[in-house]
Structure 1
Amino acid sequence: MTRIVVVGSINMDLVTLALRFPAPGETLLGDRFLTVHGGKGANQAVAAARLGARVCMVGAVGDDTFGQQLHDGLAHEGVATEHVRRIADCGSGTASITVAGGENQIVVVPGANARVTPTHVEQAQSTIAQADAMLVQMEIPLETVEATLRLGHRLGVPVILNPAPARQLPVEWLKLARYVTPNQHELATLLGADEHEDFRALMLRAPCPVVLTRGAEGAWYADGAELVHQPGFKVDVIDTTGAGDTFNAALAVFLRKGLPAAVRIACAAAALSVSRLGAQGGMPRHNELEAWLADQG
């Protein structure tokens, strides 16, 4: 069984479904409201667990009702939570999400996620040392992202950095990642480049291996000096929330099969996830993904 450690955010998603997005200053009647467990870190942990990995989450929740619900939700999915802290006098992270026309708009309030420290990561060192791969995102403090990259590099554990929300990072940090998994906008921000520059040129200029996600178009990655396009899979899109998290989780879980196979499986998992509502709600299980891929030929 593949062992994955995820260092990242844990949020309660407050989801509103509407026919369209409101204009500035406008009030709309929505169709439906849901509270859904989320956060990029927790999403990736749940997705990896559903795909058959043994997963440990490193993160934090608040000392509130959401915190207990989020902790219990991870445990229910089979994610190990011994490194999920409960932070006193602090609210859990939240994400306010509006879904309309198959797209989404999101406002994140970090809450307890801002209290995930380098010390917290170091305390999980014995678990990390046994992992086959690590996942880290950027909804936690940047110093903790750096600590995760450095610890993974020191222990020889491949770290997949999902640079979202996007910020420019030092080249030295990027060189510590086994793979960085941005979309086009995130890659340009990460490198301090013009986002209108051809993404293929940016990929070749990056100081680390890049697996670039392109939504319905699939993904791109480098094979030696050549860039390879993995086409996406056609599905009816219901909700794109969590698609990138599903992609990253699948990439980590199936990396042992080699990068080309892992990217193809990750594109398939992401496609399945957008055909259903909710970030974690749409994430496929291993047998479901396997059967669906077999049907694709």
Structure 2
Amino acid sequence: MKIIAIGDNVTDCYIEEGVYYPGGNAVNVAVNCKRNGAEKVHYLGVFGDDEPADYIKKCLAEEGVSYERSRKVYAHTAQPRVYLKDGDRVFAPGPRDSCQHLFSIKIGKEDLDIIGGFDICHTSCYSNLEYELPKLHEKCRISFDFSDRHEKEYLERTCPYLTFAFFSGSDMEEEECRELLKQVHKLGVKTAGVTRGAKGAIFYDGKEFYRQGIIKIHVIDTMGAGDSFIAGFLTAYADGKTMEDSLACAAQRSAVTCTFHGGFGHPHPYRD
């Protein structure tokens, strides 16, 4: 599989430990797809002009993820503050006016020509790319992480252009999940799923519902577990595996991510 991830890059700052980790949905998915064996992985985003941005680039290079089409702006990198409570992450706001908040990517013709060489383009509700989905849809299959967003107007705006849709719904009842998945399928999504934390995941391909339980493991940190699930599913499913095998792979990769700190490791000393 060849995948391009477009969107956010951040440094998740663990205040109590005094370290930060590279992250962001698009970055995490890109790195995990590469770790899962994807043939070619590219990240396209907006980098700041500070040391954390340089460190994220360094980590991407070490992981075999290219980023040369990314933009650089004169603003600091987004630095959400993270506290851990019983293994779960609790976020607090970081400094305001970061490059992630001030800028979004304008996809040009050269970008589209390059994107057309990939099998899947992954992005998310954090990437401010909703207005670019019609153009991206013409070039390759789109994977989209909605997180916990599923308001009707937003779904109608985005779903007609998507092949894969992922939602977070740990507080949703199973019937709510099923209705949501049927709704997005009617809007055009081919395959959609809701991850529900300890309750596992529910997926739908327009014909059948599939359930995937969690793999029990000693949890160190859940940061990036959902992104690892997405990457595990995409790499397996694009490789021709069945829905059941792809979901099993996704659960396994998600469990591994919970055994270390950060979205994919690479700790760096942090000063507030």
TM-score above 0.5, yes or no = yes
Amino acid at match of 2:256: L
Confirm or deny that 1:221 pairs with 2:214: no
**In 1: Cα distance, 2:44 partner to 2:174 partner:** 35
Amino acid at match of 2:232: A
Q: Find runs of 4+ consecutive structure 1 residues off by over 6 angstroms.
A: none
**In 2: Cα distance, 1:86 partner to 1:259 partner:** 39
Confirm or deny that 1:98 pairs with 2:83: yes
Confirm or deny that 1:125 pairs with 2:125: no
What is residue 241 of structure 1 aligned with on the other side?
223
Q: 1:4, CA displacement in angstroms?
A: 0.6
Confirm or deny that 1:199 pairs with 2:184: no
RMSD (Å) for aligned C-alpha atoms: 2.3
Residues 141 and 162 of structure 2 are in contact (CA less than 8 Å); yes or no, is this contact kept in structure 1?
yes
Q: In structure 2, which of residues 127, 137, 150 is the aligned counterpart of residue 153 of structure 1?
A: 137
Alpha-carbon distance change, 217 to 196 in structure 1, aligned in 2, over 3 angstroms = closer
Residues 12 and 262 of structure 2 are in contact (CA less than 8 Å); yes or no, is this contact kept in structure 1?
no
Residues 170 and 197 of structure 2 are in contact (CA less than 8 Å); yes or no, is this contact kept in structure 1?
no
Any unmatched runs of 5+ in structure 1? 17-29, 189-194, 283-297
Residues 4 and 135 of structure 1 are in contact (CA less than 8 Å); yes or no, is this contact kept in structure 2?
yes
Any unmatched runs of 5+ in structure 2? 267-272
Query: The residue matched to 1:83 in structure 2 has which SS?
Result: coil
What is residue 41 of structure 1 aligned with on the other side?
26
What is residue 254 of structure 1 aligned with on the other side?
236
TM-score (norm 1): 0.78
**In 2: Cα distance, 1:146 partner to 1:69 partner:** 30
What is residue 231 of structure 1 aligned with on the other side?
213
Confirm or deny that 1:134 pairs with 2:117: no
**In 2: Cα distance, 1:239 partner to 1:261 partner:** 25
**In 1: Cα distance, 2:24 partner to 2:148 partner:** 12
What is residue 23 of structure 1 aligned with on the other side?
none
Confirm or deny that 1:82 pairs with 2:84: no
Residues 61 and 93 of structure 1 are in contact (CA less than 8 Å); yes or no, is this contact kept in structure 2?
no
**In 2: Cα distance, 1:196 partner to 1:263 partner:** 17
Amino acid at match of 1:70: I
Residues 37 and 73 of structure 1 are in contact (CA less than 8 Å); yes or no, is this contact kept in structure 2?
yes
**In 1: Cα distance, 2:106 partner to 2:243 partner:** 29
Confirm or deny that 1:177 pairs with 2:155: no
Query: The residue matched to 1:63 in structure 2 has which SS?
Result: coil
Amino acid at match of 1:226: E
What is residue 45 of structure 2 aligned with on the other side?
59
Q: In structure 2, which of residues 262, 265, 268 is the aligned counterpart of residue 278 of structure 1?
A: 262
Alpha-carbon distance change, 196 to 219 in structure 1, aligned in 2, over 3 angstroms = closer
Report % sequence identity.
22
Amino acid at match of 1:3: K
Residues 74 and 80 of structure 1 are in contact (CA less than 8 Å); yes or no, is this contact kept in structure 2?
yes
Residues 67 and 86 of structure 1 are in contact (CA less than 8 Å); yes or no, is this contact kept in structure 2?
no
Task: Give the aligned length.
Answer: 254
Higher relative contact order by CA 8 Å / sep ≥ 6: 1 or 2? 2
